[in-house]
Amino acid sequence: MTTRILRGLRGATTATANTSDAILTATAELLAALQEANAFAPEDIESAIFTSTPDLTADYPARAARNLGWTGVPLLGALEVAVPGGVPLCVRVLLHFYTTRRPATLKHIYLRGAAVLRPDRAG
């Protein structure tokens, strides 16, 4: 039997506007891409921390996870630091999940305007 280990997985994206639909659509796209690239199920997730830039106030990014069926996952949202020149309309996530994968094989995903944060991991 292979041992599952708790690992961290990162991702980020940008919304097209400060609207509920734009925030939830971008976040759902990011979560689906992370899930597809790393082959985990919601029951593998221990917790998720979402941050959003101060210009995103129309909805909670974590609501997208609930809409995807992550009903048993502890979720936390926080405000990202307002760094001058930072990526606007940005949602970030840190997932803690159980997997048999080694850290070097995890696929962190950076979409849309957030790809500039980690060009080496843009996807």
Of the chain, the percentage scoring pLDDT greater than 90 comes to 93
Band (pLDDT 50/70/90 cuts) for residue 120 is: confident
Round to whole Å and give the CA distance between 66 and 73.
8
- Of 48, 61, 76, 50, nearest to 18 by C-alpha is 61
Cα–Cα distances in angstroms (integers) from residue 16 to residues 36, 92, 94, 97, in the given order? 23, 15, 21, 28
Band (pLDDT 50/70/90 cuts) for residue 119 is: confident
5-115 carries CATH number 3.30.1330.40: yes
**What is the mean pLDDT of the segment spanning 46-71?**
97
Q: Is the pTM of this model over 0.75?
A: yes
Using the predicted structure, report yes or no on whether residue 10 has a pLDDT greater than 80: yes
Query: How confident is the prediction for the chain on average, in pLDDT?
Result: 95
What is the β-pairing status of strands 90-99 and 109-110? unpaired
If you write DSSP's letter for every residue of the chain in order, what string do you get? Answer: -PPPEEEEEEEEEE-SSSSHHHHHHHHHHHHHHHHHHHT--GGGEEEEEEEE-TT--SS-THHHHHHTT-TTS-EEEEEPP--TTPPTTEEEEEEEEEESS-GGG---EE-GGGGGG-GGGB-
Round to whole Å and give the CA distance between 48 and 27.
12
